[in-house]
């Protein structure tokens, strides 16, 4: 398809920006609707499995080790140690306990955004067509299960970002015949 020009921007680039902005609004609404209030205090929270990881992350950040209960038995109750370490970083920032989940959720949105941008490059590499790439971006950005699991605190979004990045690098190696560090 020939790219349609509009004031220096192609139609495809304008549509990509519109999709990205719509995705960010969608994520913001999702996150806003996940907030809740108890006795006048607003809280952000994650899915139950992610909140378990957050407890381990908090204890780790406070110097108690990767434990469920400070001073308690060392029992592994989290699914992804690197995600727990990532979460612990937010506990080191002294974010109030009622808001500490929100940066994890925002991170999920940003990792998912990065994933769809890498996906666009993958789709362009494989198909060579802007429309295919835009459709792939749109369908992935608004696929509710993926957005839901990413924004409720699970490591889905960063894993997808790493997979898409790896896939793009592999495709580039196949195209060029050379491995690049």
* H/E stretch holding 5: strand 5-6
What tokens were used for 151? 């924004």
d(CA 77, CA 49): 9
The torsion of the CA quartet 47, 27, 116, 46, rounded to 10 degrees, works out to -10
Positive/negative CA dihedral, 41, 47, 48, 51: negative
User: Cβ of 6: how many Cβ atoms within 10 Å?
Assistant: 10
Per-residue confidence in pLDDT tens, the chain, 181 aa? 454 554 678 999 999 999 999 999 999 999 999 999 999 999 999 999 999 999 999 999 999 988 999 887 888 888 899 999 999 999 999 899 999 999 999 999 999 999 999 999 999 999 999 999 999 999 999 999 999 999 999 999 999 999 999 999 999 999 988 887 7
């Amino acid at each position: 398809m020939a790219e349609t020009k509009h004031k220096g921007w192609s139609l495809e680039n304008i549509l990509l920006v519109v999709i990205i902005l719509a995705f960010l609004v969608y994520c913001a609404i999702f996150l806003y609707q996940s907030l809740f209030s108890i006795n006048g205090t607003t809280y952000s929270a994650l899915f139950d499995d992610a909140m378990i990881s957050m407890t381990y992350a908090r204890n780790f950040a406070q110097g108690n080790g990767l434990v469920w209960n400070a001073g308690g038995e060392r029992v592994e109750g989290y699914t992804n140690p690197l995600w727990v370490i990532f979460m612990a970083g937010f506990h080191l920032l002294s974010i109030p306990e009622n808001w500490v989940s929100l940066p994890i959720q925002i991170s999920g949105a940003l990792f998912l955004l990065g994933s769809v941008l890498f996906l666009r490059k993958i789709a362009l590499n494989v198909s060579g067509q802007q429309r295919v790439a835009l459709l792939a971006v749109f369908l992935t950005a608004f696929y509710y299960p993926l957005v839901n699991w990413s924004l409720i605190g699970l490591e889905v979004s960063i894993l997808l970002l790493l997979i898409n990045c790896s896939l793009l690098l592999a495709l580039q190696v196949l195209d060029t015949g050379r491995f690049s560090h």
